[in-house]
Amino acid sequence: MERVYSKGFRPLAIATVLTTVAAFALIFFYAPLDADQGFIQKIFYVHVPMAIVALCGFVAGGVMAIRHLRTGERSWDMRSYVAIHLSIILGTGVLITGAIWAKASWGHWWVWDEPVLVSFLIVFLLYCVYYPLRFSIEDPERQARYSSVFAIAGGAFVPINFTAVRMAEAVTHPRVLSQTGGNLPGEMRLTFLVSLLAMALLFVTLWKLELTSKHASAQLKRLRSRLELRAEEHPAAQPVTR
């Protein structure tokens, strides 16, 4: 099982670092200055990729949860948990950078005009309940099962929510920023795509890293309990010290 986590980790990490450096270079030296927003627009290259990757992370967590329920293998639940956990952290970043962007662009720390930001707030509020739900169930097998159910419902919820919020905002506030969608000039589009790739690679790297750590932790626990058992069976052996 460890092979699955640590295989190919080094090339992945290297690719992540390289892409991130490339992204930063492009953002600050290649992408042109936006006509309307000026330098502020640079925030877009970190805020939007974070949002997209986090949302995909939630959906991926749901898919992994389906595999967990289907196969009954707890490793899938662990993968799902880490994906969701990482996406929540990224989500915090999305909301903070979004607020900074809003303040710089419109003078308020929060605006309801941007459907991505608004739907993100809702998704974030929902997934914050993941931890209390998960950790209030004591039985580990049941904990994993219920968390998976939640992850599946949440994963399906993300696209529905986004569509609904977009519909609502389209009526009240016509889309102020079309940056998140189409007509980006070529250089900006390239920079954006590279930033998106860097963010995605970063997510996968951190995901593997945390999974490896959790796996090692679990192995350690098993080894410790096995050794303690052996020490008990042979009382002549040294007492167990922690």
Partner 1 sequence: MPALPLEEAGKYVAGAYVVFLALIVVYVAILGAKITRIDRELGQLLELEDAAGREPGGPAEVTEQ
Partner 2 sequence: MIRTAGAILRKDLTIELRTKESVPAMTLFTVTVYVLFHFGLDRDSLDGELASGVLWVTLLLASVIGVSRLFAAEREQGGIDALLLAPVDRTALFVAKAAALFLYLLVLELVAVPAFGLLLLGPDLLAALPELLAILLLADVGLAAVGALVSALAAETRARELIVPLLLLPLLVPLLIGAASATAPLLRAGAAPEDLGRHLVLLGGYDLVFLLIALAVFDFLLED
Please say whether the beta carbons of 23 and 198 come within 8 A.
yes
146 counts as binding partner 2 under rule CB under 8 A? yes
CB of 76 to partner 2, least distance (A): 13
Burial pattern 116-126, b for ≥16 Cβ within 10 A else e, equals: bbbbbbebbeb
Whose structure tokens read 């892409």?
A: 19
**Residue 136, H or E segment:** none
Query: How far apart are alpha carbons 142 and 74 in whole angstroms?
Result: 11
87: tokens are 């996406």
160 counts as binding partner 1 under rule CB under 8 A? no
224 counts as binding partner 1 under rule CB under 8 A? yes
Query: How far apart are alpha carbons 20 and 49 in whole angstroms?
Result: 12
Query: How far apart are alpha carbons 20 and 43 in whole angstroms?
Result: 15
75 counts as binding partner 1 under rule CB under 8 A? no
Of the two residues 15 and 164, which places its CB atom closer to partner 2 in the complex?
Answer: 164
Binding site for partner 1 (CB under 8 A): 34, 36-40, 42-43, 46-47, 50, 89-90, 92-93, 96-97, 100-101, 103-107, 202, 206, 209-210, 213, 216-217, 220, 223-224, 227, 230-231, 234-238, 240-242
Residues that bind partner 2 (CB under 8 A): 69, 122-123, 125-126, 128-129, 132-133, 136-137, 142, 145-146, 148-150, 152-153, 156-157, 160-161, 163-165, 167-168, 171
